[in-house]
Amino acid sequence: MALAVTDELFRHAMSSFASGVTVITTMDASGRPFGMTATAFCSVSREPPLCLVCVADSADAYPALKESGRFAVNVLSSEQSELSARFATHGIDKFEGVAWSEGPETGCAILEGALVTVECLVENVLVAGDHEIFVGSIRRVHAGNASDPLVYFRGRYVDVRPR
């Protein structure tokens, strides 16, 4: 028997898919950095290299991303759960005290300690409910030194290292 899709059931179903954690960064027209935590990130195409991120239209970073047409995806390491929480918090200076450098292709923040960062230019935007799907053309990949990913499952971070 199928159940109606309540908000609670939707959240339970979506949290049952373990996913890596990313911080999406962008810059506004004045060069001010913006960022947000996101688990809705995936590859789209190898040729040409494309990926996508899903961003709520209520996210602090949404206006800057929409305006700039560029973003970086920082795939967080298992040591960066505090960064994940920081960039998920609304209304604060998310970059205060955070080590980062400006990406050479996009100017977007590359966070120190990330597993990998990809710099992208927006190729396409699709409206999907209260989110927009930003398809990005990957312009540069920055490999980090960390080895273990930060993974989120059912409302908490989980360890996925081999035993």
If DSSP codes are grouped into helix, strand and coil, which group holds residue 32?
Answer: coil
Neighbouring C-beta atoms of residue 124, cutoff 10 Å: 12
**110 token code pair:** 């590359």
What is the number of alpha carbons within 13 Å of residue 132 lying toward its C-beta?
Answer: 17
Rounded to an integer, what distance in angstroms lies between the CA atom of residue 1 and that of residue 21?
33
Number of domains in the chain: 1
Does 10 reside within a domain?
Answer: no
Does 32 reside within a domain?
Answer: yes
Does 142 reside within a domain?
Answer: yes
The per-residue b/e assignment along 36-45, b for 16 or more CB within 10 angstroms, e otherwise, is bbbbebeebe
Give residue 100's identity as a one-letter amino acid code: W
Given its phi and psi angles, is residue 91 left (phi above 0), alpha (psi -120 to 50 degrees) or beta?
Answer: left
Confidence of residue 128 (pLDDT cuts 50, 70, 90): very high
Does 6 reside within a domain?
Answer: no
pLDDT for the residue numbered 12:
79
Rounded to an integer, what distance in angstroms lies between the CA atom of residue 29 and that of residue 63?
11
Strand spans (E) along 28-115: 33-38, 41-45, 50-56, 70-75, 100-102, 109-111
Please give the residue range of the domain that contains residue 130.
20-153
Instruction: Yes or no: say if 21 and 151 are a contact pair by the CB < 8 Å rule.
Output: yes
61 vs 16: which has the higher pLDDT? 61
Per-chain mean pLDDT for the chain: 93
pLDDT tens, position by position, 39-50? 999 999 999 999
Does 92 reside within a domain?
Answer: yes
Does 14 reside within a domain?
Answer: no
Identify the bridge partners of residue 118 per DSSP, sorted by sequence position: 73, 141
Q: Are strands 22-27 and 33-38 parallel, antiparallel or unpaired?
A: antiparallel
Range with the lowest mean pLDDT among 99-108, 119-128, 152-161? 152-161
Q: For residue 162, what are the contacts with CB-CB under 8 A and spacing of at least 6?
A: none
Task: Please report, for the domain that includes residue 84, its CATH number.
Answer: 2.30.110.10
pLDDT tens, position by position, 9-27? 888 777 777 789 999 999 9
Does 95 reside within a domain?
Answer: yes
Does 9 reside within a domain?
Answer: no
